[in-house]
Structure 1
Amino acid sequence: MTRRKKNAPYRVGMRLPDKLPKKTLEFMKNAVTPPQVYELVARVKAVEERSKRESERAEAIATPDKHTYQVTWSEEDGEYAGLCVEFTNLRHLAKTPVEALAGIRGLVKDVEAELLRNGVPPGQSTGSRGLSGF
């Protein structure tokens, strides 16, 4: 195998990462120098990771739930606090309100699963209880 110059463009037949879109690989093979390839690969990975995190948050928020949640700013902690009305002892701190809501919902889901595993029925949600006094 011959060595190539430090900033020489990729030539057809050189080995590149396999998990990139075909058009991106073709572009890299024909027009990009090695430092640029590494930068492009890092950017693609960062975008994929950000997209995965955002879809997980959106899924956590969009999933129907029987509990009542609240997100508020905590001066004491300097972050947003996600709270659940039915589980008053739980809270999740996060930098953004969206992350706080997703975090508390995940925490409540985990606590309910643990309760069921131990044979303890989870508490009744506020929405399923009848209102009195009206």
Structure 2
Amino acid sequence: MEALQSKIGKLEACVSTLTTDAEKSSAKIQELETARDALDKALKESTQSLSVKAKELSEMQTQYNTEKKRLEDELYPFRKEKEAKLKEEEIKRQKEEEEIKRNEEEEIKGKEEEGIRRNEENEIKRNEEEEKVRS
């Protein structure tokens, strides 16, 4: 009987140890579940926050694109006007260059004609002088 009581005592000690271990494990499981729930909540909040930020970013990009388009459309007439002015100035500059070139050519031609006329006059004078000398 004593052996049985000793065995029962040992079994009760084992049950007590197992109960304590089970309670510790249960407490640890509860602790881990609480931590998991907190992490799940934080993840959900973070995901929601990220979703909100992504939506805000998308709205800002849309607003930026709209404003950029508006400004480009607003600048288009000025750009066209500037291009037209530059083209007019280029045409005017080309005409001025052509006029200068034409004037230079006319001046050169006039000088050449004047030189030819002088040569002819000198030739006539020489011929007249030779004629006088012969007479």
TM superposition score normalised by structure 2: 0.30
Query: Which structure: greater strand fraction?
Result: 1
The structure whose RCO (Cα within 8 Å, separation 6+) is larger is 1
TM-score (norm 1): 0.30
